[in-house]
């Protein structure tokens, strides 16, 4: 398997206060990797650094290329996409127009290719097709998360980064979202998944990292992490 994303000693700070320190991790092409850890551990900061939203020290290599100095747009063009924690939809625009905006960011995609991508998204999320003319602001929380994921996929990324896709959703909806994440793997996209829901994240991922106060404290195959006594005690203890 080839490595699609490789971080080496990545560090990010806010006004001199470190939020992420010396993080090294790898995502193999087509695989799902999770980053779990408590609130404030630096998970969102890490994804934002990879996407180029925040400046970072260290090395971030995507498909073999060092990303230093490249802006967000060029990282999107290179094949990465981020679904931020806040989902950032256009509430007064229709579901379909929100999706089309995702393709628009990918300049190489013409209208025919955008239409094909739209069909693929609707096949993955039939719910979005049913609601395609509805305003995004009228969707339920779970549908909004699906729309945010669908929009990110319109650019046909090689790497999809998901920031807390289960945040604020009811347990049954969370199950749907994680089911979709496993389905997505079949499209060949690699996924870097940040989650406080450690149990679900470790179930869908091949490899996991535990981030605590900005540092990787544990990592390994997800099945091994899920039975590690420290992970069980701190993150899987209840239920
Ligand atoms: P959450 O699940 O709450 O999003 P997280 O693991 O994603 O947590 P981050 O949001 O990345 O954690 O935050 C990491 C640290 O950086 C925290 O101490 C947080 O207070 C701090 N931080 C985050 N954003 C900023 C900011 N814009 N300015 C200053 N400090 C920030």
pLDDT at 1: 67
* Strand extents, DSSP E, the chain: 3-14, 17-28, 32-36, 57-62, 65-66, 80-83, 159-163, 190-195, 207-212, 215-221
Rounded Cα gap, residues 43 and 92, in angstroms? 30
Distance from the CA of 80 to the center of ligand 1, in angstroms? 22
pLDDT at 87: 74
Ligand 1 atom showing the smallest separation from residue 45 Cα: 11
Buried b (16+ CB within 10 A) or exposed e, 34-53: bbbbeeebbbbbbbbbbbbb
pLDDT at 210: 97
DSSP per-residue codes, 98-129: HHHHHHHT-TT--HHHHHHHHHHHHHH-HHHH
Establish whether residue 196 lines the binding site of ligand 1, counting it when its CB lies within 6 angstroms of any ligand atom: yes
* Residue segments in the chain with a per-residue pLDDT below the cut of 50: none
Question: How are strands ordered across the β-sheet holding 32-36?
Answer: 80-83, 159-163, 190-195, 32-36, 207-212, 215-221
Rounded Cα gap, residues 81 and 191, in angstroms? 10
Give 22-64 pLDDT, tens digit per residue: 999 999 999 999 999 999 999 999 999 999 999 999 999 999 9
Establish whether residue 49 lines the binding site of ligand 1, counting it when its CB lies within 6 angstroms of any ligand atom: no
Rounded Cα gap, residues 206 and 54, in angstroms? 27
Rounded Cα gap, residues 69 and 72, in angstroms? 10
pLDDT at 88: 82
Establish whether residue 81 lines the binding site of ligand 1, counting it when its CB lies within 6 angstroms of any ligand atom: no
Please name the residue whose Cα sits nearest to atom 19 of ligand 1: 40
Please name the residue whose Cα sits nearest to atom 26 of ligand 1: 14
pLDDT at 235: 87
pLDDT at 105: 56
């Amino acid at each position: 398997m080839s490595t699609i994303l490789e971080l080496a000693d990545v560090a990010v700070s806010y006004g001199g206060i470190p939020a992420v320190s010396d993080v090294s991790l790898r995502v193999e092409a087509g695989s799902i990797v999770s980053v779990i850890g408590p609130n404030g551990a630096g998970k969102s900061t890490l994804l934002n650094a990879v996407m180029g939203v925040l400046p970072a020290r260290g090395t971030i290599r995507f498909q073999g290329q060092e990303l230093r100095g490249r802006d967000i747009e060029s990282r999107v063009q290179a094949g990465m996409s981020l679904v931020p924690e806040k989902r950032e939809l256009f509430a007064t625009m229709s579901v379909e127009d929100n999706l089309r905006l995702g393709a628009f960011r990918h300049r190489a995609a013409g209208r025919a290719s955008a239409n094909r991508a739209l069909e693929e998204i609707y096949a993955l999320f039939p719910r979005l097709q049913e609601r395609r003319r509805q305003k995004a602001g009228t969707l339920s929380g779970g549908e909004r998360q699906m729309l945010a994921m669908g929009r990110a996929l319109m650019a046909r990324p090689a790497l999809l980064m998901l920031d807390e896709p289960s945040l604020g959703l009811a347990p049954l909806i969370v199950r749907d979202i994680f089911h979709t994440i496993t389905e997505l793997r079949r499209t060949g996209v690699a996924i870097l998944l940040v989650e406080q829901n450690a149990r679900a994240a470790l179930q869908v991922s091949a490899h996991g990292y535990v981030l605590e106060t900005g540092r990787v404290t544990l990592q390994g195959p997800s099945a091994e992490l899920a039975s590690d006594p420290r992970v069980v005690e701190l993150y899987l203890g209840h239920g």
